[in-house]
């Protein structure tokens, strides 16, 4: 079945440093990849979405590039802000007509002053 792996459960960074959260996936199908962000006591929200190989996708200062050759979709930001502290989920939806999303375990990102 489909699966998403996020290797870091907790990431703590100092404000201003670059962010990189890892995501790899397994699926037998053509697929969409996503990053969802969930701030404390809020609902998850879609941050990024991609299905195009080697194309950079950007939103709200974050970016990710889908690399099908390595089955990866890492999330990056050049300079962390305190407000980036949140839970980040990488997720996929296989492109065969079923719209359910399979989520990774999530990475809790904490940004310190």
Query: Taking contact as CB under 8 A, which single stretch among the options 12-20, 60-68, 72-80, 101-109 is the one that binds other proteins?
Result: 101-109
Q: What is the pattern of x (binds other proteins, CB under 8 A) and - over residues 7-36?
A: -------------------------x-x--
Query: Taking contact as CB under 8 A, which single stretch among the options 18-26, 38-46, 60-68, 78-86 is the one that binds other proteins?
Result: 38-46
List phi, psi (to 5°) of 96.
-130, 25
Q: What are the tokens at 68?
A: 């099908």
Contacts of residue 85, Cβ cutoff 8 Å, sequence gap at least 6: 39, 40, 109, 110, 111
């Amino acid at each position: 079945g489909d699966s998403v792996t996020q290797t870091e459960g907790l990431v703590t960074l100092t404000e201003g440093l670059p962010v990189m959260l890892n995501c790899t996936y397994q699926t037998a199908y053509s697929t969409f990849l996503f990053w969802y962000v969930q701030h404390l006591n809020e609902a998850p929200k879609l941050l990024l979405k991609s299905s195009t190989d080697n194309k950079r996708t950007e939103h709200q200062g974050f970016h990710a590039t889908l690399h099908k050759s390595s089955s990866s979709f890492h999330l990056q930001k050049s300079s962390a802000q305190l407000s980036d502290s949140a839970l980040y989920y990488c997720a996929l939806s296989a492109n065969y007509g079923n719209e359910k999303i399979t989520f990774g375990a999530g990475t809790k990102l904490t940004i310190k002053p």
